[in-house]
A and B are shown apart, each in its own frame.
Chain A
Amino acid sequence: MFPYFEIFGKVIGSYAVASVVGMAVCVFVACRLGRAYQITFEDILLKMVYIGVGLVIGGHAVYGITQLPRLWELVTHLSDYTLLEAGSVVVTCFGGMVFYGGFLGAMAGYALNVRKVVGERRKVLWDLFALVIPLFHTFGRIGCFLGGCCYGKESSWGFIVYDNTLQPDINGVVRIPVQLIESACNFCIFLFLLFLFKKKLQSGNLLFFYMLIYPVVRFVLEFYRGDVIRGFLWGLSTSQWISILLFAVALYQLLWKRRRGRRPLEAEQ
């Protein structure tokens, strides 16, 4: 839509600005919420570094996995490619990012950072992680909308994508603004989790609640996305398969925790 704008002759990408603004808002919100638990600004910054590194590595790695056929083709016919062509294929195969890969990578990075923290503080830290993910995603999807990627299917209503230089064939068609819908859904998830956090309800479980709600939203919205580059298996996209997996893991964890919480009471009776 508006992929670039110029400041003092320098071209600035809208997606980049949306991402950085999202990160800044996440740091601000995490600092405000963490203050009551003696979590400092420096703590938050360090955790954001771990999250950021995990997010970038995970997002690109899972995107690369969705491009395995192309990579396999490169490996098996390496002699047919020039060095530039082979480099181009590798860059293209790992150039994109998949949200779920980023999420899992961020979670791994965060787990590495908080591995020595125990008790109530650990629960609060994981709850803060659950809060910042949908908040950052809200801004990320606005960036997608402005950048013209992750667009929706052709429709009689919606927005016209233009100025997409990487995929010019998607320009000039009215499409469902699926990025903005997902952004709004993410913001609603954030508000719901914030409500639970403020009321100290389900402490330590907010990440599993996020993993219950977001995959349902993503599973449905995936049907309205117009891009087919993320790979399909038995009629479902990679993201839909990961949605199912995450939903099942979250449901199992919540039920297991609930059962474990009840056991001492049953023993007393």
Chain B
Amino acid sequence: MGNDGKGLSIAGLVLGIVAIVLAWFSMINIIALIAAVIGLVCAVKGKQAATAAGAPTGLATAGLVLSIIGLVLSAICFLSCTLCVLCTVGCAGLAA
């Protein structure tokens, strides 16, 4: 069976969508960040495999784009919200 990277491309696409959805929720957007990173790696590897096999790269490109959008959103939301909440909790805990 030839490896055209379809499985990796689908994984990249799904994880990209998951990242975009979860990025908006405070405290769990770290899951979105991890999903986006894994999705990006899957999509890149899928695209490289598809290119090498001469297969269509549309699915991998879609996964790549969605993973990048998910990464940007989750990074902004994670650094804006979750880290600050954790730091505030930390400071409050120390003050207590």
Contact-residue size bin, chain B (C-beta under 8 Å from the other chain): 20 to 34
* Set of chain B residues within 8 Å of A15, measured between Cβ atoms: 79
* Set of chain A residues within 8 Å of B77, measured between Cβ atoms: 16
User: Is B40's beta carbon under 8 Å from chain A?
Assistant: yes
Contact B80 A13 (CB under 8 A): yes
User: Is A155's beta carbon under 8 Å from chain B?
Assistant: no
- Which B40-96 residues have C-beta < 8 A from chain A? 40-41, 44, 47-48, 64, 68, 72, 75-81, 83-84, 86-94, 96
**Nearest CB to that of A53 among chain B residues?**
B37
User: Is A49's beta carbon under 8 Å from chain B?
Assistant: yes
Contact A84 B87 (CB under 8 A): no
Contact B48 A95 (CB under 8 A): no
Binary per-residue interface labels of chain A (86-97) against chain B in the complex, 1 for a CB within 8 Å, 0 otherwise: 011101100100
What distance in Å separates the Cβ of B73 from its nearest Cβ neighbour in chain A?
9
Contact-residue size bin, chain A (C-beta under 8 Å from the other chain): 20 to 34
CA distance in complex: A15, B84 (Å)? 11
Contact A89 B76 (CB under 8 A): no
**Nearest CB to that of A90 among chain B residues?**
B90
User: Is A52's beta carbon under 8 Å from chain B?
Assistant: yes
* Set of chain B residues within 8 Å of A11, measured between Cβ atoms: 80-81
CA distance in complex: A84, B93 (Å)? 7
Contact B72 A91 (CB under 8 A): no
- Which A1-40 residues have C-beta < 8 A from chain B? 4, 11-13, 15-17, 19-20, 23-24
Residues of A within 8 A of B (CB): 4, 11-13, 15-17, 19-20, 23-24, 42, 45-46, 49, 52-53, 84-85, 87-89, 91-92, 95, 165-166
